[in-house]
Structure 1
């Protein structure tokens, strides 16, 4: 039985054979590559318990390889191996959170001691986490069952996400226990939404308080207008389909430039871009938006793009609330577009308010459904978070945020909705005009089991358009998704474990909004 799987990266690969034989005799499986690029590629397809990384290599250096590995696999231990005793090199390596370092020539027993130290540390960490989680388990059950307000649910969701992130660093069976507990929380959260959602909408902004959360339509009033009213320049950055756990894995990067005041708000239903993002930018529920801008609202059955008028909605929103600030609006679908925007940063400084939409996470979510390669790169939530961090680090966002902070400007970083990894197909019936979204359906002839969905029979009570007198909306709850009976097994298999949005879950509805103040 192999005790652990090791990867050794060194351009002098022929000199490693004695070490490999020694480690294999001790029960450790070891693979070798002679450059950083191959190491990064190998880590994408295989899991290693420890990476031994030569500091001096041609091409991609050891430190540069370390940065790449740490950005994509922050929990993977890396041991730096170097010929140099230069203190500066070691300080930079340690600053990148290496697990250990060895100075050549390396004695095989030194390698063995390093392995044992790291693995035993992981075992101790697992033991501590196991004890802590067992101590908290029953308390969390009680908190989940006692949730009565949005703030209660926000508190529980934050704790569940925190534990997901902590357990990402281990192979503990507690991850399965936590998944079960989170599924139960989502079941009860759906009941909470069924009971309260329509009342939140009917009550409007007068319903603020413990019984009504901040919704998509309130975001500008809460997080944009206060800065505008003070005459402060503000950058409003919206990453489409950006979950709270995904924010947690990049917050350290943002925190290098800003102090972060994080909060959670509730996306309106459906938790999908045409509804939720338009509500953010317009400050209007979809029904009111369709009445005020009939030429801009696109019904579900139409193929036309449903987010083509965001700049108009922003302008109207500001004017309705008496804010006369000048603003710019930019939608970024590719890294090159973002890089060009950063290069033209001086132009953005002319505006009081700059609004930027980054679509990558949503594109990644859809690509993961369609692409086998992306599915293999992100088979679960942990890998999905890791892929998000990797994108974030290599996107134009860190450079943009650094510019904003350098100039002393404030920013809001948020999203329009989240997503959930779906598991179970629920059969529904619909006509040709019924939409294709897997987490919600809109139609006048829907057939479904009312016990398995959250249905809205009177769309006006939920602030939703009603193209026909008999239009109704249904939303998937928990980790379900909608499948038509024809060829059910094929679509169940095709969409299972894909990330979808539009329905009712903590991951889709409770989403981050972070106010950023530059560090002085």
Structure 2
């Protein structure tokens, strides 16, 4: 175990360091907070002992800088002061423990065992609990008969994934990955067998989904005379929400943690337009042709979201004032805060932010981002880091102070693709890797959900012979020309448009100001 001890009087602590060394600990030292931060940037420590009273920057000032570099590292505050405000500030900053000077070597050894053993025990408990739940989850996969069953199962799987990544062992990570793969394969068959029936039965009356999310999830809040702010983060998966949850709960209480089912294709031009219109894509194209740009047409596909939202309010005879803001830059700050007075005054306001979608695309194109978001756990960490340092946090704090409720959701999630599937199509076939539409498509039928009559699932059909196909979990479509090159380019990237738990089942969270 490697300890970093930060104290401006470190020379006086040599006996303590020697004692810990004889007990098998490796001890590195720093005499000020700045040096400590530099050392944490360069190497990994298991625990930090941090003196509160130091020249330059104090221990309390150093603590958040340490957490910024490595949020998981336990920090023990060492102080001469027992003043209540000092302890409250340290504990509020999530220290692992604190010691009052003068510190005896035996106290330090006890503290080390308590903190580090606690981490080990938590890790072992998470692993044991998942092992005990494994068979029950497997039975639940086989027992899912409707979309609500799948939502409940998916939430459990995502929570286990986050818990195991934070505190379990890599063996259990692999077991869970296999279990999620089994669940995804079964979910694909479930969607294949039931998706058309959902639309025939009336997607507006179906379980919470892209089409009815605002009418079922937002209008009831407005009916209670609550001001509502809707935050739509493109590509936000349910596990991303779990990663952000602790940060958001600093300002808000979670009153509803639900799952919304994205329509097919799980792509922005379909799912997000449907979210704001409260209509299926085919209904939008028919009822609002001025707001629909087809796949084969030039132009941006999501330019009319605000218009579609206002028309949905008109259709439901809603009279609330609406404010709509779209931001694509990483911090979202300037543009959003410029509009804050209007957001505050509006009965219902919407912010669309594309940053996580930008990470997904950049991960495909940039090797550095691919390294930073190498897997689901790293992707969650990157999303959390972005949120923590963005001005969305400031925005949520202000919204909470002004007693404005928040609905957090997305248009669709993403699937980490592994398996290239050969496909042939005409030149005007769309470019998405997880779904295709067009004429004369050739593909292995067992690898897709095929829809020959798009109207049956609420989709436009540009030509009479147009069909849609949707990829299975983990698959991506690659043309035969340059197959090896393109399959290598897109292997292990995060894509959307097809059928998987991660793409279709997205967070819908209602938050109440604290």
TM, length-normalised to structure 1: 0.88
Q: Tell me how far apart the structure 2 counterparts of residues 507 and 36 of structure 1 sit (CA, whole Å).
A: 42
Q: Tell me how far apart the structure 2 counterparts of residues 60 and 429 of structure 1 sit (CA, whole Å).
A: 63
Given that residues 44 and 377 in structure 1 are in contact (C-alpha distance below 8 angstroms), is that contact kept between their aligned partners in structure 2? no
User: For residues 240-267 of structure 1, what are the alpha-carbon distances to aligned partners after superposition, in whole Å with 9 as ceiling and x for unaligned?
Assistant: 1111121122223333333322211100
Counterpart for residue 237 of structure 2: 243
2:202 corresponds to 1:204: yes
Q: Tell me how far apart the structure 1 counterparts of residues 404 and 245 of structure 2 sit (CA, whole Å).
A: 18
Given that residues 428 and 447 in structure 1 are in contact (C-alpha distance below 8 angstroms), is that contact kept between their aligned partners in structure 2? yes
Q: 1:205 to 1:423 in 2, by over 3 A?
A: closer
Given that residues 73 and 386 in structure 1 are in contact (C-alpha distance below 8 angstroms), is that contact kept between their aligned partners in structure 2? no
Counterpart for residue 347 of structure 2: 352
Match of 2:186 among 185, 188, 193: 188
Q: Tell me how far apart the structure 1 counterparts of residues 372 and 36 of structure 2 sit (CA, whole Å).
A: 15
User: For residues 257-302 of structure 1, what are the alpha-carbon distances to aligned partners after superposition, in whole Å with 9 as ceiling and x for unaligned?
Assistant: 3332221110001111111110000111112212233343223345
2:121 corresponds to 1:124: yes
Task: Output aligned runs, 1:39-438, within 5 Å.
Answer: 48-56=45-53, 62-70=59-67, 73-82=70-79, 84-103=81-100, 110-172=107-169, 173-205=171-203, 208=205, 212-260=206-254, 261-302=256-297, 304-334=299-329, 337-342=332-337, 344-438=339-433
Counterpart for residue 450 of structure 1: 445
Instruction: Tell me by how many angstroms 1:306 deviates.
Output: 1.3
Q: 1:159 to 1:441 in 2, by over 3 A?
A: same
Bigger drift between 26-35 and 233-242 goes to 26-35
Given that residues 262 and 512 in structure 1 are in contact (C-alpha distance below 8 angstroms), is that contact kept between their aligned partners in structure 2? yes
2:208 is paired with a residue whose SS is coil
Given that residues 331 and 392 in structure 2 are in contact (C-alpha distance below 8 angstroms), is that contact kept between their aligned partners in structure 1? no
Q: Tell me how far apart the structure 2 counterparts of residues 7 and 440 of structure 1 sit (CA, whole Å).
A: 51
Given that residues 236 and 355 in structure 1 are in contact (C-alpha distance below 8 angstroms), is that contact kept between their aligned partners in structure 2? yes
Match of 1:475 among 470, 482, 503: 470
Instruction: Tell me by how many angstroms 1:483 deviates.
Output: 2.5
Instruction: Tell me by how many angstroms 1:339 deviates.
Output: 4.3
Bigger drift between 461-470 and 136-145 goes to 461-470
1:451 is paired with a residue whose SS is helix
User: For residues 125-166 of structure 1, what are the alpha-carbon distances to aligned partners after superposition, in whole Å with 9 as ceiling and x for unaligned?
Assistant: 233223222221111110111100111111111111121222
1:271 is paired with a residue whose SS is coil
Q: Tell me how far apart the structure 2 counterparts of residues 301 and 7 of structure 1 sit (CA, whole Å).
A: 60
Q: Tell me how far apart the structure 1 counterparts of residues 417 and 144 of structure 2 sit (CA, whole Å).
A: 24
Bigger drift between 343-352 and 67-76 goes to 67-76
1:502 is paired with a residue whose SS is coil
Given that residues 344 and 402 in structure 2 are in contact (C-alpha distance below 8 angstroms), is that contact kept between their aligned partners in structure 1? no
Q: 1:378 to 1:16 in 2, by over 3 A?
A: farther
2:505 corresponds to 1:517: no
Instruction: Tell me by how many angstroms 1:30 deviates.
Output: 5.8
Q: Tell me how far apart the structure 2 counterparts of residues 300 and 11 of structure 1 sit (CA, whole Å).
A: 65
1:349 is paired with a residue whose SS is helix
Q: 1:457 to 1:343 in 2, by over 3 A?
A: same
Bigger drift between 27-36 and 401-410 goes to 27-36
Given that residues 53 and 78 in structure 1 are in contact (C-alpha distance below 8 angstroms), is that contact kept between their aligned partners in structure 2? yes
Instruction: Tell me by how many angstroms 1:224 deviates.
Output: 2.1
Gaps of at least 5 residues in structure 2 are none
Given that residues 243 and 380 in structure 2 are in contact (C-alpha distance below 8 angstroms), is that contact kept between their aligned partners in structure 1? yes
User: For residues 50-76 of structure 1, what are the alpha-carbon distances to aligned partners after superposition, in whole Å with 9 as ceiling and x for unaligned?
Assistant: 344454566665434533554675443
Given that residues 124 and 168 in structure 2 are in contact (C-alpha distance below 8 angstroms), is that contact kept between their aligned partners in structure 1? no
Instruction: Tell me by how many angstroms 1:230 deviates.
Output: 4.5
TM, length-normalised to structure 2: 0.89
Q: Tell me how far apart the structure 2 counterparts of residues 41 and 293 of structure 1 sit (CA, whole Å).
A: 57
Q: 1:276 to 1:378 in 2, by over 3 A?
A: same
Instruction: Tell me by how many angstroms 1:18 deviates.
Output: 8.0
User: For residues 170-198 of structure 1, what are the alpha-carbon distances to aligned partners after superposition, in whole Å with 9 as ceiling and x for unaligned?
Assistant: 24121111111111111111111111111
Instruction: Tell me by how many angstroms 1:220 deviates.
Output: 1.4
Q: Tell me how far apart the structure 1 counterparts of residues 30 and 114 of structure 2 sit (CA, whole Å).
A: 24
Q: Tell me how far apart the structure 2 counterparts of residues 53 and 371 of structure 1 sit (CA, whole Å).
A: 38
CA RMSD of aligned residues (A): 3.0
Given that residues 127 and 164 in structure 2 are in contact (C-alpha distance below 8 angstroms), is that contact kept between their aligned partners in structure 1? no
Q: Tell me how far apart the structure 1 counterparts of residues 327 and 382 of structure 2 sit (CA, whole Å).
A: 19
Q: 1:305 to 1:422 in 2, by over 3 A?
A: same
Given that residues 72 and 389 in structure 1 are in contact (C-alpha distance below 8 angstroms), is that contact kept between their aligned partners in structure 2? no
Gaps of at least 5 residues in structure 1 are none
